[in-house]
Amino acid sequence: MSATLHWVALAGYALAAALLGVSLARSARRLPAAATACLAAAVAAHAGALATFRADFGEWPLVGLGPSLSVLALLVAVGSLLLATLGRTGPLGLVLVPVAAALAAVAEVAGFRPTPLAQELVFRGPWFVLHVVLAMAGYAGLTVAFAAGLMYLLQFRQLKGKRFGAVFRFFPPLDTLDRIGRRALLVGLPCLTVALLLGWAWSERFGPSMRPGNPKVVWGVITWFVFVAALAARAGRGAPDARRAALVSVVGFAVVVAAYVLLRAGEARGAGFL
């Protein structure tokens, strides 16, 4: 049942992304509302898939590539859905919904099922669960900042070239995009910071201790510094600082993704790095 609901969610994300894309291309005013409804149904199906996973296997989908990416996909989709209910911020789904769909698709390919590592790992209380959920919330926050930054740069370029086409009409205003990016970083950084501290404390208590060269530690620290850099880029005020902050968010997100791919490729098979 969890696998079926997961496929339903994936199909819903793909349809919502398609509706938003058509809305941008054709300036169809009714399609964003339909995309939001479709996204809401997909989020409900996805949440049902994770809940059914917990009921079927007796564990939360927090360990292993497939289950972990599925949780991250849900958090990104929930972020997009929340933004869609806050005025003119729904178009951020043009970036966020495809990201959620891609994460859910990779989760399906990797296997949306318990892994041997999950069965061998001993969960001690709610701290491990809180560690993973907060870490995923941090990465979801960075994804929202990336989406806002990317749309900011695209619209800024259109305005600079005095092209007032579909992007200008469909995208949220620059100030709104800048504000969303800033708030996403301000929410994501504390979540990731607490997650890293909890992960360190949990590993010290239950072992094995996380060494500085551990891929999980390296990736988490890289992401933390990306958050700090993106927030530091917002030290000033005005369009140049907002544009610089947007650029740092986009480049930082790319660095985090590239670091994950490289660290994952260099990890021994079955070692358990997300």
What pLDDT score does 98 carry?
A: 94
This prediction has a pTM of 0.88
Q: Which of 10, 186, 158, 155 is nearest to 91 (CA)?
A: 155
Range 133-144 average pLDDT: 95
What pLDDT score does 150 carry?
A: 94
What pLDDT score does 120 carry?
A: 47
Question: Is the per-residue pLDDT at 191 higher than 90?
Answer: yes
Question: Is the per-residue pLDDT at 236 higher than 80?
Answer: no
- When pLDDT is cut at 50, 70 and 90, the band that residue 211 belongs to is low
Distance (Å) of CA 183 to CA 62, 100, 230: 26, 20, 12
Question: Is the per-residue pLDDT at 251 higher than 90?
Answer: yes
Question: Is the per-residue pLDDT at 238 higher than 90?
Answer: no
- When pLDDT is cut at 50, 70 and 90, the band that residue 27 belongs to is low
Cα–Cα distance between 134 and 143 in angstroms, integer? 14
Range 198-218 average pLDDT: 70
Distance (Å) of CA 50 to CA 75, 126, 138: 12, 17, 19
What pLDDT score does 15 carry?
A: 94
What pLDDT score does 180 carry?
A: 92
Range 231-259 average pLDDT: 86
Using only C-alpha atoms, what is the Rg of the chain? 19
Nearest-5° angle of CA 15, CA 254, CA 193?
A: 100
Range 131-160 average pLDDT: 91
Half-sphere exposure of 152 (CA within 13 A, CB side): 27
Extract the tokens encoding 8: 């339903």
Range 113-127 average pLDDT: 61
- When pLDDT is cut at 50, 70 and 90, the band that residue 214 belongs to is confident
Range 14-35 average pLDDT: 82
Q: Which of 233, 127, 258, 113 is nearest to 182 (CA)?
A: 233
Alpha helices in 31-160 (DSSP H): 31-57, 65-84, 93-110, 116-120, 127-160
Cα–Cα distance between 42 and 52 in angstroms, integer? 15
Question: Is the per-residue pLDDT at 206 higher than 80?
Answer: no
As a whole-number percent, the residues of the chain with pLDDT over 70 amount to: 81
